[in-house]
Structure 1
Amino acid sequence: MSMEKQEPSLEADEQSGSLLFQRVPQEIRNHIYAQLFSSIRLTFGFRWNGCTSRVAVKPAPHGFAFLHSCRRARLEINDSWLQYMLFSFEDPYEMLDHLSALPTEMLSKIRRVRVSGDQLAYTIFGEQELYPLAGALKLLPGLQLDQLTVVGLPEGRDSYNTLNGLIKGSGGWKTLRFVSPNSSMLGFEASRKVPFTDDTVVNDWEDWRESQPENWQAMLEARDGRDSHPSVTVYRAREPSHRSSRPIPRPSECVEYRQEPVQQLPGWNPDFVPEDPDLMGEGEKDKALLVVVKRGAGVDYQEKEDSPFVNGDLREHEHGSTWEEIGGPSLWANGGRVRDRQPPIVDDYNDPEEHVWTQRHFCKGLYGVHYDCHRDEC
C-alpha cells in the first residue's frame, strides 16, 4: 500500500514579531488604515466613450491587496474600510444595482459615493418615464453618507433640475457636491410655462431657474431650520474646462459666485429669464461650477424607508416599490445602458477624486447629444 507524503500544515502567522503591531499604537494603526483606504476608489459601470456608447470599467485590482496580505490587519480593520473608500458609479443604475443589494447595516457604513446626474429612463410598451436622481436615492433606506458627489451633464436645464430636486427633498447625505462641467446650469434661458398646445393646458414641470445660491439656501433652511445653519455655496472655475482626467474642482481653485436677481426693467416678463451673458458668453460657458450643499447641524439626514415622497419618487412605481422589483435591465435599457462590445478597461487614477471628463461632457449638440460626436466642433 503506497502512502503519499503529507506536507506539514502551515498555521497562520499571527504577526507577533511584527514591529507594526509591537510598536505602533492601535490609534496610529487606525490612522494608517484610514489614510490607505481613503486613497482607493471602487468604480462600477460603463463609462461614456464619445456621446453615444459606453465601455465597461473595472475597479483597479490593488484595492484590497492589503487586506489579502495580512490576516491580523484584516481582523483589525474588519469592515471599517467601508467608511473610507470612494464608491464611484458611472450612472444611477449601477448605484442602485450595487447598493440596494447590500444589507442595511453595511450600506449605512458607507460614507463616500460619487455618481453621475443622469435621470433614470424607464421604457415599457414604447412609453418612457424619466425619474430624477433624488427619487432614486429613496430606494436606498439606511444610506447616510458624509459626502455625495454628483457629476452633472452638459445640458444646463437637466443639471439645474437634478440639483434642485436633491436639495429640496433627497436624503442620505450630510454634504452634497454637485459638479457641472460648464456654467450653463445657472445661465440658460428659462420660461416658466411651456404649453403643449395653444390652449391653457401646461406641462407639469417648469423650465425655470432662480437666482442662486439664494433660492437654494432658502429651500434648505425651510427643510433644516435656519438655526441649524445649513449652507449652499456656489464656486466657479477660473479657467474653462478641458477634456482630461483630473480631480473635481476644489473651492480653493475657484471663485465663490453669487447670482444677481434679474433686473425688472420696463416690459419685464415675470415668466421669462433671458440667457445670462456673464455665464454663457464666449470663453465663459465652459467654466465648471461646483455647488457645495451642507445639511444643518443635528439634522437626521439618513434616508428612511418611510420618508415622504418626492417628485419622481421611484417608490410610487406601478411595478413595485423596490429596485429589486422594478430594476429589470430590459425595462431600463434605453436610459443609459448602450454599451460598446469592447473589453473592459481598468479604472486608472492617481487621485481617487479624479474624474474623466469625456467628450459627452463637452458636446454642444441639442441637450448635449450628438449622434456624430467625433467631429471637431464637439
Structure 2
Amino acid sequence: MARTKKKGKAKAKTQNQQIFPQTLSPLLQLPGELRNQIYNCLFASTRLTFGERNTGPITRKIMRPAINSLAILRVCRQINQEARSLWLGEILFSFEVVKNLLDKFSTLPSSTLSQIRNPIGGDDDVFYKLAWALKLLPGMNLDNLTVLGSSGGAIAYDALGGLIKHGNGWRELHFITANSEMLGFAKVRTFMAGPCWRKPQPSTWNDILLRRDGANSGASVTIYRSTQSHSPGTVIDPRTRQIFEQKVPSPKDLEIFGVAEDKQLLAEDEIGKELLVVVKRGHGANIREQDTPPYKSIDDIRQWSHGMTWAEIKHQCIDFSIPMDDDDDYDDDFFAEGYETDEVDDYTRVDDYVWEPFNWMA
C-alpha cells in the first residue's frame, strides 16, 4: 500500500523544531584529522549484508543491512562531504553467494569499484566457479577477500584451487570452511568436471602461487586449523587455531596421496574443526583483471559470454524462466525496499559469520 505524507503535521513539526548551528557540534569542533579517524573507525566496524540466506533445506531469508548503517552520511552537508569518500574503502560488504556480489558490483563504474576494499561472500559452485565469476569485475582491486567455502570438501578444494591459480582482483584471500573435509576427502569426480584429487597442502598451492607471482615475490599460502571442534568462528581467533601442514615422507607416498580419505583428519572428533587458508599475492604482482581478450583459459566465463553483461548472463543461464522486459531498470541502490521475509543483519563483531544449517559439520 502506498504511503502518503500528512503535509500539515509535517510543516508544523518543522516550524517547531529548534535548529542548532553546526559550530556547536562537539564532533565538528575536533580537528579534521581526528574526525577522519572517527569516520574510519565507524566504517571499519560496519557491515552491509545482501542476498538470500538459506535457513533450512527449503527455507530462505532475504538479508539486508540495517537501514541506519550509513546514517552518518545524512547528518549534515559538511559531514557528508568529509566522509563520503572514506566509507567504500573501510566498510565490510557481505554477500550470501557470489551471485549477490555480482548483482551489486557489476553495475558500478570502475572508479567506484576500485575503491572497495573488504568484501566477504559465500562460495556458490552450482552455475559457475568463483574464480571465473569474479573476472566479470575487471576494476576490482581489493585489499582483502573473504570466502566462506562449501562444507563439501571437494567443492571447496576446487574453488580455492581455482582462486589460487587464476584469481585476480585481491591482495589477500581468506578462505574459510566449516570443517576439515577439504583437506581429507578421497579422490572424487566433481560435477561436470574431471576428478578432484587433492595434493599435500599448502606446499602444492604455494608452488602454484610462486609460479604466478615469482619465486622471490614473497607470495604465500598458509593454512590454519581450529583447535576446537564444532565451534564456528574459532579459526579466525589466533588463540584458538594452529598452523596446519601436510607432509609426505617419500615420492612413493606422493603417488597415492589423496586417493583415499585421511581417516585421522576426518575422525569424529577432528572433522568438525574449521579451516582458514590465507593466500597472499606476491610483492609487485599485478592483481588487476584484464578486461579485453585474449583470455588465458577456455574455462574463463568471458570466453563464451562474448561481452555480455552480468545481468544478461544471469538471465540467459540462471534466471531463464523469468521473463525479461527490455525496459527493466536494474537498480543498483544498496538499500532497495525489502520484502516481508527480510531479515536485518545482526552482528556483534564486523567479521562474525554464520554457517547455514545444512552446511553442517559431521
TM-score in terms of structure 1 length: 0.80
Distance 1:228 1:49, change over 3 A: same
Q: CA deviation at 1:206?
A: 2.6
Aligned to 1:359: 357
Quick one: which of 282, 287, 293 aligns to 1:301?
A: 287
1:59 aligns with 2:65: yes
Q: Aligned partner of 2:175: which letter?
A: F
Q: Secondary structure at the match of 2:212?
A: helix
Q: CA deviation at 1:263?
A: 5.5
Aligned to 2:325: none
What is the CA–CA distance in structure 2 between the aligned matches of 1:256 and 1:136, rounded to whole Å? Answer: 30
Decide whether the 8 Å contact of 1:145 with 1:174 is kept in 2.
Answer: yes
Q: CA deviation at 1:249?
A: 2.0
Q: CA deviation at 1:62?
A: 2.2
1:135 aligns with 2:121: no
What is the CA–CA distance in structure 2 between the aligned matches of 1:76 and 1:12, rounded to whole Å? Answer: 21
What is the CA–CA distance in structure 2 between the aligned matches of 1:85 and 1:328, rounded to whole Å? Answer: 30
Q: Aligned partner of 1:170: which letter?
A: G
The 5 Å alignment of 1:255-266 reads 255-261=242-248
Q: CA deviation at 1:204?
A: 5.3
1:165 aligns with 2:158: no
Quick one: which of 289, 294, 302 aligns to 2:275?
A: 289
What is the CA–CA distance in structure 2 between the aligned matches of 1:224 and 1:62, rounded to whole Å? Answer: 42
Q: CA deviation at 1:241?
A: 2.2
Q: Secondary structure at the match of 1:16?
A: helix
Decide whether the 8 Å contact of 2:155 with 2:190 is kept in 1.
Answer: no
Aligned to 1:323: 310
What is the CA–CA distance in structure 1 between the aligned matches of 2:19 and 2:83, rounded to whole Å? Answer: 17
What is the CA–CA distance in structure 1 between the aligned matches of 2:281 and 2:43, rounded to whole Å? Answer: 25
The 5 Å alignment of 1:42-121 reads 42-121=48-127
Q: Secondary structure at the match of 2:50?
A: strand
Q: CA deviation at 1:25?
A: 2.2
Distance 1:164 1:112, change over 3 A: same
Q: CA deviation at 1:19?
A: 3.6
Aligned to 1:374: none
Decide whether the 8 Å contact of 1:160 with 1:185 is kept in 2.
Answer: yes
Distance 1:248 1:26, change over 3 A: farther
1:275 aligns with 2:261: yes
Decide whether the 8 Å contact of 2:184 with 2:265 is kept in 1.
Answer: yes
Deviation larger for 76-85 or 324-333: 324-333
Quick one: which of 185, 188, 199 aligns to 2:185?
A: 188
Quick one: which of 347, 350, 356 aligns to 1:349?
A: 347
Decide whether the 8 Å contact of 1:120 with 1:332 is kept in 2.
Answer: no
What is the CA–CA distance in structure 2 between the aligned matches of 1:48 and 1:40, rounded to whole Å? Answer: 23
Decide whether the 8 Å contact of 1:174 with 1:295 is kept in 2.
Answer: yes
Which string of whole-angstrom CA distances, capped at 9 and with x for unpartnered residues, describes residues 92-149 of structure 1?
111111100111110110000111111142xxxxxxxxx2000000000100000000
Which string of whole-angstrom CA distances, capped at 9 and with x for unpartnered residues, describes residues 335-374 of structure 1?
xxxxxx962111111111111122122066xxxxxxxxxx
What is the CA–CA distance in structure 2 between the aligned matches of 1:353 and 1:172, rounded to whole Å? Answer: 20
What is the CA–CA distance in structure 1 between the aligned matches of 2:96 and 2:168, rounded to whole Å? Answer: 20
TM-score in terms of structure 2 length: 0.83
Distance 1:62 1:164, change over 3 A: same
Decide whether the 8 Å contact of 1:319 with 1:326 is kept in 2.
Answer: no
Q: Please identify runs of 4+ aligned residues in structure 1 that moved more than 4 A.
A: 5-8, 10-14, 262-266, 268-272
Q: Secondary structure at the match of 2:265?
A: helix
Q: CA deviation at 1:323?
A: 0.8
Decide whether the 8 Å contact of 1:45 with 1:89 is kept in 2.
Answer: yes
What is the CA–CA distance in structure 2 between the aligned matches of 1:333 and 1:353, rounded to whole Å? Answer: 35
Q: Aligned partner of 2:198: which letter?
A: R
Q: CA deviation at 1:50?
A: 1.5
Number of residue pairs matched by the alignment: 334
Which string of whole-angstrom CA distances, capped at 9 and with x for unpartnered residues, describes residues 68-109 of structure 1?
123211111123200011110101111111100111110110
Which string of whole-angstrom CA distances, capped at 9 and with x for unpartnered residues, describes residues 217-265 of structure 1?
11110111021101110000001124x6x57623443100001127666
What is the CA–CA distance in structure 2 between the aligned matches of 1:235 and 1:101, rounded to whole Å? Answer: 35
Distance 1:350 1:233, change over 3 A: same
What is the CA–CA distance in structure 1 between the aligned matches of 2:190 and 2:158, rounded to whole Å? Answer: 19
Decide whether the 8 Å contact of 1:314 with 1:321 is kept in 2.
Answer: no
Deviation larger for 133-142 or 50-59: 50-59
Q: CA deviation at 1:320?
A: 5.0
